[in-house]
Copies of this chain bind each other. A is one copy, B any other.
Amino acid sequence: MRPPPTFAIAPSFLGVAREPAPGRVQEGRIFVAGIPLDIGTTNRAGSRFGPHALRHASRMLVDGDHPTHWVRPADHGLRDVGDFEIAMGELDRSLEMIERQAAAFPHLVALGGDHTVSLPLLRALARRSGARLGLIHFDAHVDTWPDSFGLRYGHGSVFYHAIEEGLVDPQRMVQVGIRSPTEKSVYDWTLGRGVRILGAADVHERGVGWTVEQIRAVVGEGPVYVSFDIDALDPAFAPGTGTPEVGGLSTWQAQTILRRLGGLDLAGMDLVEVAPAYDVSEITALAGATMVWEYLALVVTGPRSPLPVAGKPR
């Protein structure tokens, strides 16, 4: 059967079948879930509609093979399990609920929501894998403040806690695209723990090849998680976000970096901080959906590709 035109594709990520409920999980697949939580944000709100926007934008990526990996991620056991339940107006309780729901999935790709969601996702994943994770963190901000404008677990403090709680191995953690104003003490703490910080200007001036080398050198062989805050991209490429900073990455840079991370032991991903009310013509949502698609293409062509290719392409 011929695929429908993009405007008629079913509202799930990459148009894949939607699991009826998070409960019934089949082993060996990759699961996409939305997490519409945004009360941990400190400037513009609205990423609660990120999952919706990312799914809608992903229709552009349904038809055709990835142009360098020559795979279709949707054909390799991908499932969209809908949105996680959260507690309205209660950040801490929401984090617990997210962790509990995430625990069921062997390989989860989360569509945020604000960056706070990474903390419970890392908690669930670290517990499941029994080891500290490597981390590739795309962002304009280090997110290693001890608190976020007074909020212990907020979108600016997730990686402080991820390190302090032993979820992430700071020696295997690299940040890409950093450029916001930052207290020097926070920056120094981060470096002091062993985190490698690649500023946006480094990527611009040294190139994506150099950047990929740095990332690979840092994360090495073990399992690695990818946390992609859409504000790693420049506001020209991603205006629809809560805490934009100029001088950021272009989409081709981020996309090319991701494409060259083949062979890593990828353990999960989140794409956070897409705030559609500030987007224009879906360009931010499309950028976010494309980064997820790049990640998925890596996974399905990788050393631990989750499932044999489905019998026939759609």
CB of B246 within 8 A of CB of A283, answer: yes
Interface residues on A, range: 35 or more
Most B CB within 10 A of own CB, among A7, A83, A287: A7
CB of B7 within 8 A of CB of A36, answer: yes
Decide if A182 is an interface residue (CB 8 Å cutoff).
yes
A10 — which chain B residues lie within 8 A by C-beta?
A: 82
CB of A63 within 8 A of CB of B181, answer: yes
Decide if A6 is an interface residue (CB 8 Å cutoff).
yes
This chain: copies in complex? 6
Decide if A255 is an interface residue (CB 8 Å cutoff).
yes
Decide if A236 is an interface residue (CB 8 Å cutoff).
yes
Decide if A290 is an interface residue (CB 8 Å cutoff).
yes
- Closest beta carbon of chain B to A16's beta carbon, Å: 14
The distance in angstroms between the C-alpha atoms of A87 and B154, with both chains bound, is 12
Residue of B nearest to A287 (CB): B246
Given contacts A6-B42, A244-B286, contact A250 B277 (CB under 8 A): no
Known: A64-B186, A67-B180. 8 other contacts (CB 8 A): A4-B83, A8-B83, A44-B49, A61-B181, A234-B237, A236-B251, A239-B281, A246-B286
* Residues of A that sit less than 8 Å from B by CB: 2-8, 10-11, 34, 36, 38-40, 42-46, 48-49, 52, 55-56, 59-67, 70, 72, 82-83, 85-91, 148-151, 153-154, 178-184, 186-187, 199-201, 204-205, 208, 234-237, 239-240, 243-248, 250-253, 255-256, 277-283, 286-287, 290
